[in-house]
Amino acid sequence: MPKLESLTFDNGFARLPEAYYSRVCPTPVPDPYLVCYSPEALALLDLDASEISRPELIETLAGNQLLPGMDALAALYAGHQFGHFVPQLGDGRAILLGEVKNAAGEGWEVQLKGAGRTPYSRGGDGRAVLRSSIREFLCSEAMHALGIPTTRALCIVGSDRPVYREDEETAALVTRLAPSFVRFGSFEVFYYRNQIEPLKQLADYVIARYYPDLATRAEPYAELLREVTRRTAELMAQWQAVGFSHGVMNTDNMSILGLTLDYGPFGFLNAFDPSYICNHSDTGGRYAFDQQPDVAAWNLTKLAQTLVPLLSVESASAAIADYPQQFGQAYIARMAAKFGLPASGDTVPLLMDALQLLAQNHVDYTIFMRRLGDFDSAAGSLNAPLRDLFPDRAGFDAWAQRYAAALRQMGSGDNERGMAMRAVNPKYILRNHLAEVAIRRAADDHDYSEINRLHRLLTRPFDEQPENESYAAEPPDWARQIEVSCSS
C-alpha cells in the first residue's frame, strides 16, 4: 500500500466559496500519542497499518501539522436544536483537514474532532475529551460492522493536556472519515439568511459530487430531496431494528448522505423500552428511542423547506411524502428477517406482539433476538433459554405457540432459518457499561487494551466468539448508574 507521502488530496468542499466555511488550522496539543486505531478505516485511505505509528502521521492527526495538499477549514451550518432554530452553528470543535482520493476512486474527507477553537465554537474550547472520543471511535466502527451507514473513525490521538468539563479530564482527538460531512443544517443557514444563490450552489455541489445521476432529471432538487428521504427512512429502520438510540437528532446532526453522524449521548437498548431516553440532557424525551422515526420525518420537513426557493412547495412536499411508507416497509422487512418470517401483512401482528411482550417483561432486546435464532418450532417445545427471559411465562408460551405455528406453516427449517437469523441479529453491541470499563482503564491507567479488545470484538458482531461470551451478557447492576449527555 502507498506510504503517507503518496496520499492524493482532492478537497472538493474547499473549492466552494468561503461562504460555506472558515479556513482555520487546528490548535496544537503537547506530546500527542496514539490511543487506538482502526486498520479497516486506515485502509480506506490506502495506508498500511505500519503507517499509523509514524511520528509525522501522529503529529498530523493531533492537529500539530498539516500534510502537503491539506486545506484545513471549519464548515458553517445552522440547525434546529431540540426543535428550536439556531441561526449559526458550524464546526465548533471539528476541523476538516482535506479529502483523500484513494485508488478505488473514492473520496474520503478527513476531519479532526477536538482540534481546538474555530469561528463557530461559541465560547467553547473546541476540545474533545478522551471519554467521549472513545465512545465515538468504538461506536462508529461498530455501526459499520453492523451494516449501518455511518461516518468512520480512523483513530484517537491523546494528549495529557487538561480539559475541563464537570471535572478535569485529558484531551483527545478523533479522526473521522466520511464521503461528506454536509448536513441538513448546511442548507438551513442559507435559507434563513435568504441567500438563495449559495443555497443553490450547495445543492448543485451535493448533486454533482454524490448524486450525479440526478443532475439530468427534470427536477434535480426534488429528486435530491426524494433520495435523501429514502436514505433517511432506511437509516431509521436500521436504527430501530438494532435498538440504537442516537440521543441528539437535531437537524445539524442529520447527514445529507443518510449516514449516522455525530456520536454523542447514544445508547443501545438493554431491556426493551420503547420510551428509552439515552441522553440525560433530554428531559422532555424529544429524542426517545420510539420518537426517532417521527423526528426524522420532522427534520425532513425542515430540509424540504430550505429547498423551496429551488422548486415548488408542491414538489418539495411530494418528495418527502413517501417517508412514512418507506420507513414502515424498511422496518418491517428488517424486523421480519430478524424473526425469520416473511415481510407480509400477516407477520406484523406477531412482530408487534413480541415487542409488546418484551417491553412488559423488561427483556434484554439483543439477547432475545439472538436466542430466537435457536427457536425449536416443533409442537410442544418449551424453548427454555428464551422462556427463562420472561417473568410472564404464560405470556411467552402463548406467543411462542403462534410463532411456532407460523414457522411450521411456511415450512421453515430450524437450522437454515437459524443461520439466516444469526446473520442479522448481532450477539455483540456496544453497551454503555462495556464502553465505560474501557474509558476507566484508559483514563485511570493509560491502559488502552480494552478499547482495542472491544474494537476487535465489535468488528465481528454476528460471530459467536466463545472466548468473549461475557461481553454478550446483560449489564451488571452498577451499569444502571451510567448517564450520558451532550458533553459525553
Q: How far apart are CA 276 and CA 285, in angstroms?
A: 8
Q: What is the pLDDT of residue 1?
A: 54
Cα angle vertex 151, ends 145, 153, to 5°? 75
Q: What are phi and psi of 109, to 5 degrees?
A: -75, 135
Q: Which of 479, 453, 476 is nearest to 465 (CA)?
A: 453
Alpha helices in 163-248 (DSSP H): 184-192, 196-210, 220-242
pTM: 0.97
Task: Write out the three cell numbers for 149.
Answer: 451507514
- pLDDT tens-digit readout, 40-90: 999 999 999 999 999 999 999 999 999 999 999 999 999 999 999 999 999
Cα angle vertex 461, ends 459, 464, to 5°? 120
Distance of CA 94 to the CA centre of its chain: 17
Q: How far apart are CA 255 and CA 319, in angstroms?
A: 17
Q: What is the pLDDT of residue 345?
A: 87
Cα angle vertex 332, ends 327, 336, to 5°? 155
Task: Write out the three cell numbers for 58.
Answer: 501522529
Q: Which residues of 309-323 are buried (b: 16+ CB within 10 A; e: fewer)?
A: bbbeeebbebbbeeb
Q: How far apart are CA 260 and CA 152, in angstroms?
A: 9
Q: How many residues does the chain have?
A: 488
Q: How far apart are CA 172 and CA 174, in angstroms?
A: 7
Long-range contacts of 277-282 (CB under 8 A, 24+ apart): 277/245, 278/245, 278/246, 278/247, 278/484, 279/247, 279/248, 279/484, 279/485, 279/486, 280/483, 280/484, 280/485, 281/485, 281/486, 282/82, 282/247, 282/248
pLDDT at 485 over 80: no
Task: Write out the three cell numbers for 417.
Answer: 432459518
Q: How far apart are CA 473 and CA 476, in angstroms?
A: 9
Q: Give the residue numbers marked as catalytic.
A: 252
CB 396 within 8 A of CB 390: yes
Q: What is the pLDDT of residue 484?
A: 82
Mean pLDDT throughout 261-285? 96
Q: What are phi and psi of 208, to 5 degrees?
A: -65, -40
Alpha helices in 11-110 (DSSP H): 39-43, 55-61
User: What burial class does residue 53 get, using C-beta atoms within 10 Å of its C-beta: 0-12 exposed, 13-18 middle, 19+ buried?
Assistant: exposed
- pLDDT tens-digit readout, 423-475: 999 999 999 999 999 999 999 999 999 999 999 999 999 999 999 999 999 99
pLDDT > 90: what percent of the chain? Answer: 94
Question: Average per-residue pLDDT in the chain?
Answer: 96
Q: What is the pLDDT of residue 488?
A: 45
pLDDT at 380 over 50: yes
Q: Which of 114, 86, 111 is nearest to 189 (CA)?
A: 86
- pLDDT tens-digit readout, 131-142: 999 999 999 999
Cα angle vertex 227, ends 222, 229, to 5°? 95
pLDDT at 120 over 60: yes
Mean pLDDT throughout 140-145? 98
Q: How far apart are CA 325 and CA 310, in angstroms?
A: 25
Q: How far apart are CA 332 and CA 233, in angstroms?
A: 12
Q: How far apart are CA 459 and CA 298, in angstroms?
A: 33
pLDDT > 70: what percent of the chain? Answer: 99
Instruction: Residue 18: count other Cβ atoms within 10 Å of its Cβ.
Output: 10
Q: How far apart are CA 445 and CA 280, in angstroms?
A: 27
pLDDT at 481 over 80: no
Q: How far apart are CA 431 and CA 450, in angstroms?
A: 14
Query: Which residue matches cell numbers 488502552?
Result: 448
Q: How far apart are CA 407 and CA 116, in angstroms?
A: 56
